[in-house]
Amino acid sequence: MLSVQQLSVNGRRDRLLPATSLQAARGGLLLVTGARQDQRTALALTVSGRMKPSAGSVEWDGGTRIKQLRAASAIVDSPGVNEPEQHLSVRDLVTEDLALVPRRYRGALLSEPWLKVNRFEDIAGLWAEQLAPRRRMELLTALALADPATDLLVLDSPDRHSGDPADWLPCLQELAYDAGRPLAVVATVTSLPAGWAGAAASIGNARPELEHRPGPPSAERLPVQVLREEVAK
């Protein structure tokens, strides 16, 4: 289980991430709303262990070690961090992402066999920018799960590609509720889909009286290149 308490990140001038608390269990999907893209990205990076919080705590299965959290988590399609570059072909994208899988699992992970086994042959010849929102989501989550150690999926703003939740919500529900590989799935979104009755939280939901007063920034916004390098580790 992912447990987040009073998590916040200080920016250069104001809170990059206001104090937020949430929980996400294996076998479930949690949607976290936030109006600002920078705050949604900061939350995604922090709960996946890619950005150091200024205050609060993040626990995975009761442990607080960042190394443990990072090994168990994958951040998916984060704007300016690890979203696919538009000029990449799907084949090249798959090759690059599979190269990030730990070496002990990497031997058999070649792009052409992987595309065939995972039923992405129909889009293998497309550019990343040509992918329909639903197929994009299916491809990127499948690549994240190529690492068998991944138990926590964190998706950054999947709704930015389509105003229709049908293009991303069913895919995430299917992944979360898969009895064969129960995952904890967290997605940051602008707003909840109509009729959503599942688990939800909101950025900045911590009680004001418990929130730490802003102080000198302890976690500045990192350059995109640094964030890319952190995600690739």
- Domain annotation covers residue 42: yes
- Domain annotation covers residue 7: yes
Neighbour count for residue 191 (Cβ, 10 Å): 12
At residue 192's C-alpha, the angle toward residues 118 and 63, to 5°, is 65
- Domain annotation covers residue 132: no
Average pLDDT over residues 218-223: 42
- Domain annotation covers residue 75: yes
- Domain annotation covers residue 115: no
- Tell me, what amino acid is at 8? S
Domain span at residue 22 reads: 2-86+150-232
Q: What is the pLDDT of residues 118-164, one digit of tens each?
A: 999 999 999 999 999 999 999 999 999 999 999 999 999 999 999 89
At residue 17, what are phi and psi to the nearest 5 degrees? -135, 110
Structure tokens at 93: 């994208």
At residue 32, what are phi and psi to the nearest 5 degrees? -115, 120
| Domains in the chain, number | 1
Query: Which residues are paired to 30 by β-bridges?
Result: 186, 199
Q: In CATH, what number is assigned to the domain containing residue 18?
A: 3.40.50.300
- Domain annotation covers residue 95: no
At residue 131, what are phi and psi to the nearest 5 degrees? -70, 135
For residue 168, name the pLDDT band (cuts at 50, 70, 90): very high
For residue 215, name the pLDDT band (cuts at 50, 70, 90): very low
User: What is this structure's pTM?
Assistant: 0.86
- Domain annotation covers residue 113: no
- Domain annotation covers residue 127: no
* The total number of residues written for the chain in this structure: 233
